A and B are shown apart, each in its own frame.
Chain A
Amino acid sequence: MMKFYELPKLSHRVYYVWLRNLYSHKRFIVSTLVGNLGEPVIYLLAMGVGIGSYMKLTSGEPYLNFIAPGLIVSSVMFASIYECTFGSYLRMIHEKIYSSIVSTPINTDEVVMGDILWGTTKAVISGLIMFLVVMLFGIGSFIKLLPIIFLMLLVGFVFSSMALIVTALAPNFDFFTYFLTLFITPMFFFSGIFFPLDEFPNAVKIVSSFLPLTKAVNISRFMMQGSILNRNVLYDVFILFVWGLILYCLATLLIRKRLIK
């Protein structure tokens, strides 16, 4: 049995946890996707098409081109956040799925990883649909698909892990509202999706530059504009990896602490 501080113990059994979630969600997959996509698509239309018609970038490109890469990764973020807060909390506390799985040879660490990978899966699907929507507006191309999928996997993993940390600490569903309004929404606006942060004080810029969403938006923008192998991109990818690793380990430790008594 794992101790609180031990490194995660994983095996192929992670797949069965993921499979369980696939089985349970195959009935609702359409409705949840529509739900997760709603927000970014509305921003795309309202900001990109609505406000965007009054604005032109200095480069001459339409505003929509500026925000589209950020909205793709934020749709990934929102999908993973919703899945691994509300979804995971429901599974863990209300449906007792976690405790029924750990009574088999599968351990808590594998349940955590399975749920994170499931959140990542749903997030990537949301992101891909968003990518297609953006393509309908004539932005991006299928050549970008492979690097973009890689980015989506990474972003999905980072935010699923982050969400599971919140789930491990949540006393009830209301807790997630705080997390969303006090952390996720500000991050959404200050990650450079809609406007560069040049006009803001240094403190804001520095904090923002370390946030995982800011990194994801930067990478996405580079990728969509074609310059994939760039030193800045590699640095940002590295930072996202570090975020993923730290958040994942923390999520595992905190779920262990909550469940193993």
Chain B
Amino acid sequence: MIIAKNIYKRFKDIVAVNGVSFTVEKGEFFGIIGPNGAGKTSTLRILCCLSPLDEGLLTVMGREVKVDDRVIKSNIGIIPQESDLDIDLTVYENLYLFSKFYGIENKKSLKLIEDALIFTELKAKSNSKINDLSSGMKRRLLIARALLNNPELIVMDEPTIGLDPQARHFIWQRLRRLNKSGTTMLLTTQYMEEAEQLCNRIIIMDKGKVISEGNPKEMIKKEIGSEVIEVRVEDAEASIISQIEKNLQNINYKKEKIGDTIYIHSQNDNGRDIVNKLTGMNHLYIHYRPATLEDVFLKLTGRGLTE
């Protein structure tokens, strides 16, 4: 569906995309994750033919973005990060005009708009003004809008950013359903939970490069293990840390320290033993939990603030 070979995007003084390669197969739910400024959105914009590719080769559905932008744009659905809904128009008019932009005949568009409104549960809001919608509804309308041309590929930039949990879960369900019905999905996100929930394959980007690629569960297993024990230390760090190390002698583990927290990655499911060894200590906040993609992400991109 998508083949990116060594693509580059440069702005005035930064290289936003620095030699990125990846492929997305038909039917996949593919995620690009990374911190702010990693080059996710730039990659997406090139892919959607909104931003010119500086170097490299990028094909979508077998067509080059540099050549066939019109054909590619006709066959993908784009869900942007920020709402660009037309606030002068109603919900229905927004969809109607977009169906015009896609060159869909009136006869067909009525049915398509109806289906899209039902799918996103916005039927009752057909005649509402955009400014009267909640942010969750706006995002649903953006999804409805992206479905009008029956796209083979849906591209989403941070589809649930800034939404409350209900709205977020609703959107996740809809996106999964679309994927099940055969639509290839590509999203960027900085929410690791989202990537874990949705994607069957991800790439992690940092500073314009791909630093890791794989299935989220396998990546967690490989990089972290199955469990993590977070230990938050208050004062007298050095002495407590050496105390912890002493308590965990003879136990197989890996650890990373960021700020006031130590992340202990258990090996061979020995997390319970580690917790038992630590419970006696004073001034410790201990959180014993399954390993997540966030651990992988933090380990690979470094835990310092990237901005």
Contact = CB atoms under 8 A, between A and B. Distances in A.
A1 B101 contact: no
B35 to A, nearest CB: 21
Contacts of B89: 23-24
A103 B78 contact: yes
Contact of B11 (A23, A106, A261): A261
B256 interface: no
Contacts, number: 66
A49 interface: no
Interface string A4-47: 00000000010010011001110100000000000000000000
B101 A101 contact: yes
B80 A103 contact: yes
A10 to B, nearest CB: 12
Contacts of B51: 260-261
Interface in B58-92: 65-66, 69-70, 73-74, 78, 80, 82, 84-89
Contacts of B78: 103
B152 interface: no
Q: How large is the interface on B (under 10, 10 to 19, 20 to 34, 35 or more residues)?
A: 20 to 34
A105 interface: yes
B97 A105 contact: no
Contact of B84 (A1, A99, A260, A261): A99
Contacts of B3: none
B97 A1 contact: no
B11 A105 contact: no
A246 interface: no
A105 B70 contact: yes
A16 B97 contact: yes
A104 B101 contact: yes
27 contacts: A1-B49, A1-B52, A1-B65, A13-B103, A16-B100, A19-B100, A20-B86, A23-B88, A23-B97, A24-B86, A24-B89, A27-B88, A95-B84, A95-B86, A95-B87, A99-B84, A100-B84, A103-B50, A103-B80, A104-B74, A105-B74, A105-B103, A107-B69, A107-B70, A260-B52, A261-B11, A261-B51
Interface of B: 11, 48-52, 65-66, 69-70, 73-74, 78, 80, 82, 84-89, 93, 97-98, 100-103, 149
Interface of A: 1, 13, 16, 19-20, 23-25, 27, 95-97, 99-107, 260-261
